[in-house]
Amino acid sequence: MSTKRSRIAERLLAGGTEPDPRFTLANERTFLAWIRTSLAFLAGGVAVEAFTGDLFQEPVRKALSIILLLLGMFISGGSAVRWINVERSLRHGLPLPLPLIAPILGIGGAVVAAVVVFLVLLS
């Protein structure tokens, strides 16, 4: 059985020692949780555009949809970058990186919620 990693894995992970598989698997589960969250934002953006035509005016509906879709896109891309960075940190015994996608998620979700609350109060 070969213990050599593929060239892509060698290039992305850049050396270090193999971490405990439990840590790698936990990192993968966290990545998948971020992906599920991004899918929820993408579905929310599609749902707002498709089903709220009689609730919101078109510019508001489009803005909310675009914000939700962009959040889903950023969270999805950010989760892949985070997964690689955490895996590299585990392999090199470095501190785990700060999750930069968490503030994007929090601020973006708060903006969308504030707009919806404001519109509900106006109606």
* Residue 111 in this model has a pLDDT that exceeds 60: yes
At 82, which helix (H) or strand (E)?
A: helix 58-92
Is there a contact between 27 and 87 (Cβ–Cβ < 8 Å)?
Answer: yes
Calculate what percentage of the chain has a pLDDT beyond 70: 97
3-state secondary structure of 119: helix
> Among residues 7, 5, 25, which one has the least CA distance to residue 86?
25
- The predicted-structure confidence for 86-104, as pLDDT tens digits, reads as follows 999 999 999 999 888 888 8
- The predicted-structure confidence for 27-52, as pLDDT tens digits, reads as follows 999 999 999 999 999 999 999 999 88
